[in-house]
Amino acid sequence: MNYGPLLFLGILLTLASSWFGLVLMPNKQLGNLDVHTDTNTLAVYPQARNGEAQQGEEHYRSLGCIYCHSQQVRTEGYGSDIARGWGRRRSVSRDYIYNKTVMLGTMRTGPDLTNIGERQPDYGWQYKHLYNPQITSAGSVMPPYAFLFETVKIGAHGPNTNALVLPPEFSVEKGYEVVPSIKARQLVEYLRSLKSSVDVPEAEIKKEEAK
Amino acid sequence: MNIIGLIIAGSVVLLPGVALLALRWAGESGQLRQFDRQALLPFDEQEPVGQATDQILGRKHS
Amino acid sequence: MSASVKSPAVRALLPGDVSPETSAPTLTADIDASCRAPVLFFFVSGLAWLLIGTIFALISAYKMHSPDFLGNCEWLTFGRVRPAHLTTVVYGFAMETSIAVLIWLMCRLCRTPLIAPGIITIANFFWNLGLTVGVVGILAGDSTGIEWLEMPKYSTPILFISYALIAVWAIITFRLRAEKHLYVSQWYLLAAVLWFPWLYGTAQVMLLLSPVRGVVQAGVNWWFAHNVLGLWFTPVGLAAIYYFIPKVIGRPIHSYYLSVLGFWTLALFYNWNGFHHLVGGPLPAWMITVSIVASIMMLIPVTAVAINHHFTMVGHFGKMRYSPTLRFIVFGAMSYTVASVQGSLSALRSVSEVTHFTHHTIAHAHVGMYAFFTMVMFGSMYYILPRVTQREWPSARLISLHFWGSALGIILYVVPLSYGGILQGQALNDASIPFLKVVALTLPYLKIRTFAGVILALGHVAFAVNIVWMLVRVFGPYRKPLQMIISGSEQPAAVGK
């Protein structure tokens, strides 16, 4: 009973089915999705990120932020994503067409970041939170990213404009200040670019919630 | 993308067709007879059915 | 079989004190001897990756509740240690041991000695090289950011060379088989060998070489990641279970028809499951619905396998006391049912609403990869190593320590964390509970998880000591191995005195 060829064929056919169904078909349906142009304002959505924010996306990937933060808002009534303010509307495929690596995420050890740019636009908050999350969010289990900052001696011209304003219990040695490195600045630019504030035809922001 | 569409359409017809042919061939040439005899394949003359193996742990260590 | 070693390859290693009544040559001993070098290399390097992966696991688990631990080291930040853990245990330990088990099972069931075993040994070198490059790349910050596929793309060509050698050799062995009949384990093995390069190749091309646009990436990612579990690890694990349960208890599988039904339904449904990781996500509903349906359909092969294994074992559960292999394999087989049912249920929209994005998913992944797959691989190693090295396990105490460390450790890991994950999900879905309160709620379960990790680590160390002890004997003076085959009625021999 040498049914090797039959077995071989069956093995290939079964996987071929989902390869067509779950790989090629989605690519056919979504792979050419393009920007949406508002007919009234002619505003184009989404926009590609600027260079700083794009660099920041690379740090987001490299530091593995995805293992605790998702970037997808589920629809109203399914989970409490919108009620928590993680987004004004559910996420749609179009939101991601300019992402180099799509990091939807599968864990919410930390909050969803789809709309973090609107929720926390303040540079100071973002830097302090990255430097040591306990400063802004006591009890957080997020690791400190102090290695993205430099502790330098305060120069003759006084403190750096970017220097972190740290509360006393977190302050560094007198005469020194903590300044964000280029990586930290790029990462924060990326985080500030994450916004879910534009209407798209497939998922409109509820009018009473929109400003 | 048209190429992918063509591939998909072509394979929807072709692949199940080939599968059915293969199944017919297998049935006709007697490949599927005496099927459950194959359950004996892990055994041989030295380790026949009925002979346990790997019984290496003593009772006091169980 | 143990004392009756006649193959020239093995006899060369013996000082010639083989007793005459057991000196008739046997094909099985030849086959085991031919697999000796490749199996040893893959098992030992797999074991090394297991220990490294366990260290990464403990670091990440501890960081989860004490984030300042090693906080100043960029290379050891949580977001890098965690993918390093996954990569070392999945592509290091699990992949390498499964390759060894695959090669050995294939040779035994084909009744063909492995030709040119050096090729597989070379493949082992390349796999370890590619993996080392990949893991260092992840720690250095070159992770791809794609779950289950974190190794940077410059490590892929090295891994590809290795896999190509292994796959070609497995297929050559299959083609040259002396036994024309096929056992169900061979179906699973052949399928795994053919499915894996298709999966890995598709993922590499569509995600890393010329990435597809937008959320299609997420789709390809989960089609790949779920299928690595479903179409590589599950088939190899099931192949081992289908071989070792009958082999150890000396009784053929309960229903061969059922095993064939199980194979084809698994092949049909499992590969459609991947999108259940994207329930509620920004992809068209039909894609996700298809995966949910396929996940529920998985209950058919899982039930077929569970019934078949259970009825094969009925009346033979007592043999678990004497066989380390059977202990681990039966534990793994039972966990397969648990993992699969849990997985099918978690795919339902109403369940996923709670469990998605929580530690419940992490617990579930460990039921599948550890309680099922890793335990089956441990069991297989307990059977295969004495036969390829012609040495008995040195210590029964260490075997027991390993079994109970792994079994109790993984139960203590998954049960509290699954429960904590559900609580976490319910709290997350109640927008009136502040986020940091949800974090605080999970802390006790995360601490229990770290403790469970320490118990698992103890089991792994016991296993490693036993293997190293055994290998020292291989290279040291030959000792006559203990009788390994006892007929059902006879008193079992004991080791570890």
Nearest to C324 among B46, B52, B57 (CB): B57
Report, as an integer, the average pLDDT of A123-148. 95
In tens, the pLDDT along C451-476 reads 999 999 999 999 999 999 988 876 65
C63 inside 8 A of chain A by CB? yes
On whether any CB of chain C is under 8 Å from the CB of B62, the answer is: yes
Terminal CA-CA length for chain C:
22
- Angle in degrees, 0-180, between the axes of helices C184-203 and C256-269, rounded to the nearest 10: 10
Q: Is the pLDDT of residue C490 over 60?
A: no
Higher pLDDT, C20 or A148: A148
> Which of C247, C316, C470 to probe the B interface (max B CBs under 10 A)?
C247
Contact status of B41 with chain C (Cβ, < 8 Å): yes
More confident residue, A203 or C308: C308
pLDDT at B37: 77
B49 interfacial to chain C (CB closer than 8 Å): yes
Q: Which residues from B are below 8 Å from C319, CB to CB?
A: 52, 55
pLDDT at C485: 37
CA–CA dist B16, C305 (Å, integer): 27
Mean pLDDT of C84-110: 96
Q: Do B22 and A20 touch (CB under 8 A)?
A: no
Overall residue count recorded for chain C in this entry: 497
| Nearest alpha carbon to residue C202 among C212, C215, C192 | C212
Q: What is the pLDDT of residues A176-191, one digit of tens each?
A: 999 999 999 999 999 9
C405 Cβ contact partners less than 8 Å away, ≥ 6 residues apart: C455, C456, C458, C459, C460, C462
A33 Cβ under 8 Å from any chain C Cβ = yes
pLDDT at B18 over 90: no
- Alpha carbons A123 and A134: distance in angstroms, whole number: 17
Q: What is the largest CA-CA distance in chain C?
A: 80
State the average pLDDT over residues A105-123.
Answer: 95
C358-403 tens-digit pLDDT? 999 999 999 999 999 999 999 999 999 999 988 888 889 999 999 9
Segment C237-261 mean pLDDT: 93
Read off the pLDDT of each residue in C300-311 and give the average, rounded to a whole number: 95
Question: Picking from A200-209, C120-129, C399-408, which range would have the lowest pLDDT averaged per residue?
Answer: A200-209
Average the pLDDT over C68-90 and give the result: 95
**Mean pLDDT, chain C, whole residue set:** 89
Residue B61 pLDDT: 38
Residue with tokens 């891994």: C159
pLDDT computed for residue B44 by the predictor? 87
Distance from CA of B49 to the nearest CA of A (A): 22
Residue A130 clears pLDDT 50, i.e. is over it: yes
Per-residue pLDDT band for A203 (boundaries 50, 70, 90) equals confident
User: Is 50 exceeded by the pLDDT of residue C9?
Assistant: no
Which whole number is the average pLDDT over A162-169? Answer: 90
DSSP state of C212: P
| CB of B43 less than 8 A from some CB of C | yes
Higher pLDDT, B46 or C156: C156
Which of B8, B12, B24 should we substitute to test contact with A (largest number of A Cβ atoms within 10 Å)?
A: B8
- pLDDT, residue B27, reads 66
Query: CB–CB of B4 and A13 under 8 A?
Result: no
If pLDDT is split at 50, 70 and 90, which confidence band does A210 have?
Answer: very low
Query: pLDDT band at residue B46, thresholds of 50, 70 and 90?
Result: confident
- Chain B residue with minimal CA distance to A20? B8
Beta-carbon contacts of C415 under 8 Å, excluding residues fewer than 6 positions away, are none
Looking from the CA of C215 toward its CB, the CA atoms found within 13 Å total 25
Chain A residues with CB under 8 Å of C227 CB are 15, 18
Distance from CA of C126 to the nearest CA of A (A): 25
Query: C357 forms bridges with which residues in the sheet?
Result: A107
Task: Chain A: give the shortest CA distance to residue C468, in Å.
Answer: 35
Domains, in order of start, for chain A:
50-210 (1.10.760.10)
Residue from the list A31, A61, A102 with its beta carbon closest to the beta carbon of C143: A61
- pLDDT at position A13: 87
Among the partner residues C79, C274, C281, nearest to A22 by beta-carbon distance: C274
Give pLDDT, residue A207: 60
pLDDT of residue B30: 58
pLDDT tops 80 at residue B17: no
**Closest-CA distance of chain C to residue A64, Å:** 4
Q: Is C157 on the interface with A (CB under 8 A)?
A: no
d(CA C432, CA C294): 35
**Contact B13/A at CB under 8 A:** no
CA–CA dist C473, C468 (Å, integer): 9
Mean pLDDT for the stretch of residues C96-107: 96
* C87: enclosing H helix or E strand: helix C78-87
Asked if residue A209 has pLDDT above 60, the reply is no
Q: Does B15 touch chain A (CB under 8 A)?
A: yes
**pLDDT: is B16 or C259 the higher one?**
C259
- Picking from B33, B45, B49, B56 by the largest number of C CB atoms within 10 A of its own CB, the best residue to mutate is B56
- Check B11 against A10: CB less than 8 A apart: no
Say whether the ipTM exceeds 0.85: yes
* SS3 at position C131: helix
**Beta carbons of C279 and C346 less than 8 angstroms apart:** no
- Mutate which: B1, B35, B41, vs A, most A CBs within 10 A: B1
- In this predicted structure, the answer to whether residue A211 has a pLDDT above a threshold of 60 is no
- How far, rounded to the nearest angstrom, does the alpha carbon of residue A185 sit from its chain's CA centroid? 15
Q: How confident is the model at residue C494 (pLDDT cuts 50, 70, 90)?
A: very low
Cross-strand partners of A203: A200
